Amino acid sequence: MRHTCASGPPRFRGDALLGSLPMTTCASRTAWRVWFGILLAALVSLAGTACTRSPARYGGVVSNKALLDPESAAQTAPETYRVKFETTQGTVVIEVHREWAPRGADRFYNLVKLGYFEDIAFFRAIDSFMVQFGIHGTPAVARAWKDSPIVDDPRIEANARGTISFANSGPDTRTTQVFVNYRDHRELDAMGFTPFGEVVEGMDVLDALYTGYGEGGPQSTGPDQAKIERRGNAYLRKEFPKLDWLIKARVLPASVMPEGH
């Protein structure tokens, strides 16, 4: 994809995409290559940010104990299935294709079936880039899944507008964070970001999510992922009250799938 002189490509850190850095002047081809080299070098891990504070204070109460046991999430997903999101802006439907990324499709299916995607913040929504979510609002749950990555899938489909992929911090590090592309981002295709599904209803809903907080902390003023993991939804609701939320997600019955699926 060709970038304009108004914005550069995304950087990546930890279990997530870290967004695009602005470019104030049109870059030369040489400058672009230097910029892209910096982008690749920025693939560093946030694995050392695990919470070490008191579980009683920061762990939270987990009524669904299955959310603390990622190893139990071992169901094989259907070859094609749909997931309905109820968000603070409206309804979104994701169609997942297991042939695109079997391990990713299975992980997403199990997360939805377990009820993981309930009261989850769209904590990073960047205009013309993507919207990212998937850090659980209860720190104890977020920690459990952060230590349970899945092996990568070879990429089949491109990171086009409306596709959904797992975020990562390098090879074999996908856990629970996912993002939906707001536009085509073919530069992500060679960087380990593998689409496993696509938005089939409600892309306008995702387009309407609040993007005013911009890039995440600590480099910028948006939500800090380490603080979300440590303090959960209480941190987000206090410091970023305008964020939109994924209220709940559920796998739709096979009977609602279009013919031929």
Q: Kindly report, residue by residue over 30-85, the tens digit of the pLDDT.
A: 443 433 343 333 333 333 333 333 333 345 678 889 999 999 999 999 999 999 99
Domain-located, residue 68 = no
Domain of 208 in residue numbering reads as 7-59+78-256
CATH number at residue 43: 2.40.100.10
Q: What was the pLDDT predicted at 59?
A: 54
Residue 232 reports pLDDT greater than 60: yes
The arithmetic mean of pLDDT across residues 98-124, rounded, is: 98
252 neighbors 96 (Cβ within 8 angstroms): no
**Order of strands, sheet of 80-87, starting from the edge strand that comes earlier in the sequence:** 120-121, 245-251, 80-87, 90-97, 195-201, 163-166, 178-181, 130-133, 124-126
pTM of structure: 0.79
Domain-located, residue 32 = yes
Domain-located, residue 36 = yes
Domain-located, residue 69 = no
Domain-located, residue 40 = yes
Domain-located, residue 101 = yes
Domain-located, residue 261 = no
The total number of structural domains in the chain stands at 1
Tens digit of pLDDT for each residue in 114-167? 999 999 999 999 999 999 999 999 999 999 999 999 999 999 999 999 999 999
Domain-located, residue 72 = no
The arithmetic mean of pLDDT across residues 100-122, rounded, is: 98
% of residues, the chain, pLDDT over 90 = 70
